Amino acid sequence: MTKAKIVQRLLDKKHINAEEAVILLKEETTTTYPYWTTNPYFPEGPDPDYTPPPVWYQNSTIDK
């Protein structure tokens, strides 16, 4: 038995109206998003022990 046949039977017996039938027959779509997407260059994920190197810069206005 299909969903459409069940809905038709309910409509014939006047248990539901046409608006309710449309809602029941409408396809449900859900979109899921992954929690974590892997980086192709680092598939193992971030390293928790990694400390970035210090950033050295020179400001030309101070050097004058």
pTM of the model: 0.43
Residue 6: band (very low, low, confident or very high) from pLDDT cuts 50, 70, 90: very high
> How many Cβ atoms are within 10 Å of 10's Cβ, its own excluded?
15
Predicted pLDDT of residue 56: 77
What's the mean pLDDT in 44-55? Answer: 73
pLDDT at 15 over 70: yes
